[in-house]
Amino acid sequence: MGLRTFVFVVVLLGFVLSFLEFCNGGITSSFVRSVNYSLDMPLDADVFRVPPGYNAPQQVHITQGDHVGKGVIITWITPDEPGSSTVIYWAENSDLKNYATGTVLKYKYFDYTSGYIHHCTITDLEFDTKYYYEIGTGNATRHFQFVTPPEVGPDVPYTFGLIGDLGQTYDSNRTLTHYELNPTKGHTVLFVGDLSYADDYPFHDNNRWDTWERFIERNAAYQPWIWTAGNHEIDFAPALGEPIPFKPFSYRFHVPYRASGSTSPFWYSIKRASAYVIVMSSYSAFGKYTPQYKWLKNEFPKVNRTETPWLIIIMHCPMYNSYVHHFMEGETMRVMYEKWFVEYKVDAVFAGHVHAYERSERVSNIRYNIVNGLCMPISDQSAPVYITIGDGGNLEGLATSMTEPQPSYSAFREASFGHGILDIKNRTHAYFGWHRNQDGYAVEADSLWLLNRFWKQSERASS
């Protein structure tokens, strides 16, 4: 063998080995699930029923109302007239009833006119306390309850549910039921976008917002859902005379964005127990000098990991995705912000958009620039785990086509509907499990122990 041939063989072998290292990924599940598209539940299904009584409050849901968890925003709709905007609330084991009055909004979208949308913010609640609340009047009065989180602290255990791309199909109902009956009870849902899919119906039928909100009320009226806007919330339809993006979503879902210094409800942050949750908007401007960019640049340094050790990001479009559907759509945001995720040692990034499940290895691709050719992700223990959980069960069905071979950044992927549970134990350990709808309520189809990025590094430094 001549020298030139030998050099060629060595170079070729090195290329092949590096290719295999990049392309040989983790597990692609062999689980066989139904390939049928999701079917919408009929409009007369029990989950869509209107509560009895004239002008009875409906579509009740709550979310966090301040930055630290001592506030709650309660939202409901009265269909016939404004009625009362007052919430009566009281703590368990207390006879003292408190009153708070909210605002009333209404909107039109094409040929649809909404009911009267009430938003009432309650503040200065006690931590770790059960509260009862009452809305409506007379025979149409309705009662609900919620529990505030424990006081913010580094070793406070807390459990989040993860749901995305839900819709209002039979599979959607199975997902929500599975979450409700999971023996590891979630206290708050981190919802990663794409709610009702109203824009998938003729003329963006906003009646489908009403049915969806009545569907989720059985859970969302009792525990906070932290909202992320997805592409199906844009509702941009100039041909219908609707040129304002996010119009129905903005009227129906209020969030405490001002409490974190944000100028928009589409990006904001909250503290809850030992977690600091940052909500990002995949469908708002996020380039350099934009409002979202400026806010995030100031937000990351504010996170005190000795107070809230778990830094979690939720967004809609995934940055790492090995499915054919929506492949590389998150690349521009990844290029923009991944370096901050690594610098500030984000623990996990949850996204939706792809109607399937996927979990990544801890990787980053921040070495790359336009001239150095280092365009493949590498193992990076300062990087977050990226989890795609856009598998709630909507009418568009599952994303079953995957890129092959499975890339090295992909640890586990499966095209099934389900939900996730993030169970934070203390400042150093949290446990994530993914539950597919076809399994028993306690079965985990995929799971992972998360070691906190900040405290893991701190322990290494001290030792």
What residues contact 248, with CB distance under 8 A and at least 6 apart?
107, 109, 114, 198, 206, 209, 233, 235
Question: How does pLDDT run along the chain (463 residues), one tens digit per residue?
Answer: 554 544 344 334 443 333 333 445 688 887 766 655 679 999 999 999 999 999 999 999 999 999 999 999 999 999 999 999 999 999 999 999 999 999 999 999 999 999 999 999 999 999 999 999 999 999 999 999 999 999 999 999 999 999 999 999 999 999 999 999 999 999 999 999 999 999 999 999 999 999 999 999 999 999 999 999 999 999 999 999 999 999 999 999 999 999 999 999 999 999 999 999 999 999 999 999 999 999 999 999 999 999 999 999 999 999 999 999 999 999 999 999 999 999 999 999 999 999 999 999 999 999 887 788 777 899 999 999 999 999 999 999 999 999 999 999 999 999 999 999 999 999 999 999 999 999 999 999 999 999 999 998 765 555 4
What pLDDT sits at residue 6? 41
What pLDDT sits at residue 35? 57
What pLDDT sits at residue 179? 98
Cα–Cα distances in angstroms (integers) from residue 243 to residues 51, 192, 208, 236, 251, in the given order: 33, 24, 20, 6, 15
Place of tokens 């979990």: 359
Cα–Cα distances in angstroms (integers) from residue 246 to residues 92, 107, 194, 259, in the given order: 38, 12, 12, 21
> Residue 274 in contact with residue 427, Cβ under 8 Å?
yes
What pLDDT sits at residue 21? 38
Which residues are catalytic, by number? 326
Burial of 251 (0-12, 13-18, 19+ CB in 10 A): middle
What pLDDT sits at residue 29? 84
What pLDDT sits at residue 8? 40
320 token code pair: 């790492």
What pLDDT sits at residue 147? 98
Q: Which domains does the chain have, with CATH numbers?
A: 154-193+266-461 (3.60.21.10)
DSSP 180-205: HH-SS--SEEEE-S--S-GGGSGGG-
Torsion of CA 193, 196, 201, 202, to 10 degrees: -100
Global pTM reads 0.93
Place of tokens 């059985």: 218
What pLDDT sits at residue 444? 96
Burial of 316 (0-12, 13-18, 19+ CB in 10 A): buried
- List the one residue out of 281, 274, 337, 272 whose CA is nearest residue 308: 274
